[in-house]
Amino acid sequence: MAKSPSFIGSLKPAGPESLTNLVIIVLALVFFGTFLFYTDIDSIIVFYLFYCFIFIIIGQGWNIVAGYTGQISLGSHAFFGIGAYTTAIIWLRDITHTWYFFDPLVMFLSGLAAAVFAVIIGIPILSRLRGDYFSFATLAAAQVFTVLVLRGGKLTEGAMGLRIPGTLFEDLGIYYWTGLLLAILATAAVFFVTRSRLGLALRAISEDEMSAASHGISVLRYKLIAFAIGAFIIGVGGNLYAYYIFSISPPAVLNLNWLFYPILVCILGGNGTIGGPVIGGFVVGAIVVFSETLIGRVHPMVSGVLIILVMKFLPTGLIGLKAKVFQRH
C-alpha cells in the first residue's frame, strides 16, 4: 500500500505544515461543534454529516490495519454486523439493565464483541497467512459469520433480523453529536496508537516483517492487536448505525457495502494517514447520500469511477494533494 508522504502527527519539529494542521483541526472542531446551533435539524445536511461520521469511524478502523500493518482486511462487514447485532441482542434480552438507547456501556460491548471475534479469527489467519491470502481468509470468515447469523435461530431471527424500539427517535440531534464524538475518538485513537511504541512496531512490520522480528518484535501479537483495535472501532460504528436503522438484519448490516465503504474511505482520502479517512469519509458520504437522492441507484458507478480516477492520478489519496502543495513552496 501507499506509504504516507506526510501524515499529521509524524514526529517532526513544529513547522508551517504542523501549524497548518493544527489550524485546520481547530477550525473543523469549531465548525462541527457549533453547526447544529444555526442549522435546521431536519435538513439533509445533518443527515449527510451523520453518515460521514459513520464512514470516518469505520474508515479509521480499517486504516489502522491496512494503513499501518499493510494487511488488507475484507472482513469489515462482519465486524460492523457484530457491533449492530450485539447492540440489538443486549437490548432485546435486557442483559445490562441500563438505558440501551445511546448507552455508552452497550457501545463499548458492541465494539468489544467485534474485537473478540477479530482475535478468534485473527489467531489462525494472521499466524499462517499474509498479503492476498490474509484478505481472502478474512472475507471467508466474514461470510461464515453471515451464514451463522442467517441460521442463528431465536438469537438472530435469521433473515428477518431483530427490531429495536424505533419510537425513541426524536430528531437527528443525538445522532449527530454521538457520531461527531465517536469520529473524533476513532481518529484520536489511530493518532495515538500510531505515535506510540505499538505504532512504531506496526510500521516496522508493514515495511519488513523479517527484519522486525529480528529486533524482537512479536509480529503475530502486534498484528493481532491492530486487527482487534480496528474491529473494535468498526463494531462501534455498527452500534451507531443500529440506533439509526432500528431493524438489524443481514441485508442491512452484513451486506458487502460495509466491506467496501471503509476501503473507499481510506483509498480516496489517503490510506495510512490520520487525516485521509476523515477527508475520505466526507467524500464517500457525499457520494452515498447525495447521489442516492439525486441519481438513485447508479451511485455505485459514481464511486467506482471516482476510485479509479483517484488511484490513477492520486495514489496517495486526496490528502496527497496537500503534500504536493507543500512540496511546491
Q: Is residue 200 a contact point for other proteins (CB under 8 A)?
A: yes
Where are any strands of DSSP class E within the chain?
162-163, 247-248
Please select the residue that binds other proteins; options are 213, 302, 307, 323, rule is CB under 8 A: 213
Instruction: Quote the CA–CA distance of 241 and 50 in Å, as a whole number.
Output: 10
Compare residues 151 and 324 and give the one whose CB is closer to other proteins: 324
Q: Using CB under 8 A, which of 3, 130, 163, 299 touches other proteins? A: 3
Asked if residue 93 binds other proteins (CB under 8 A), the reply is no
Question: CA geometry: angle at 312 spanning 309 and 316, to 5°?
Answer: 100
Distance CA 158, CA 297 (A): 27
Indicate whether 207 belongs to the interface with other proteins (CB under 8 A): yes
171 vs 208, beta carbon nearer other proteins: 208
Contact at 8 Å (CB) between 326 and 284? no
Whole-number minimum distance, CB 217 to other proteins, in Å?
6
Binder to other proteins among 56, 201, 267, 310 (CB under 8 A)? 201
Binding other proteins (rule: CB under 8 A), the pick from 16, 37, 97, 214 is 214
Residue of the chain from 210, 313, 327, 328 that contacts other proteins (CB under 8 A):
210
Q: Are 44 and 291 in contact (CB under 8 A)?
A: no
Say whether residue 19 binds other proteins (CB under 8 A).
no
Q: Which cell is 43 given?
A: 435538513
* 223 in contact with other proteins (CB under 8 A): no
- Report how far residue 258's alpha carbon sits from residue 238's, in angstroms, rounded to the nearest whole number: 9
Tally Cβ neighbours within 10 Å of residue 301: 11
Pick the closer one to other proteins by CB: 142 or 225. 225
Q: Which is nearer to other proteins, 202 or 240 (CB)?
A: 202
> For residues 46 and 204, what is the distance between their CA atoms, to the nearest angstrom?
40
216: Cβ contacts below 8 Å, ≥ 6 apart: none
153 binds other proteins (CB under 8 A): no
Q: Please tell me whether residue 127 binds other proteins under the rule CB under 8 A.
A: no
Indicate the residue among 204 and 242 with the shorter CB distance to other proteins.
204
Quick one: 20 exposed, middle or buried, by C-beta within 10 A (0-12, 13-18, 19+)?
middle
Name the one range near other proteins by CB under 8 A: 5-13, 31-39, 50-58, 125-133: 5-13
Give the shortest CB-46-to-other proteins separation in angstroms: 40
Q: Are 147 and 254 in contact (CB under 8 A)?
A: no
Between vectors from CA 138 to CA 133 and to CA 144, what angle results, nearest 5°? 125
Q: Mark the segment that binds other proteins (CB under 8 A) among 29-37, 43-51, 193-201, 293-301.
A: 193-201
Residue entry with cell 467496501: 260
Per CB under 8 A, residues contacting other proteins are 3-4, 11-13, 197, 200-201, 203-204, 207-208, 210-218
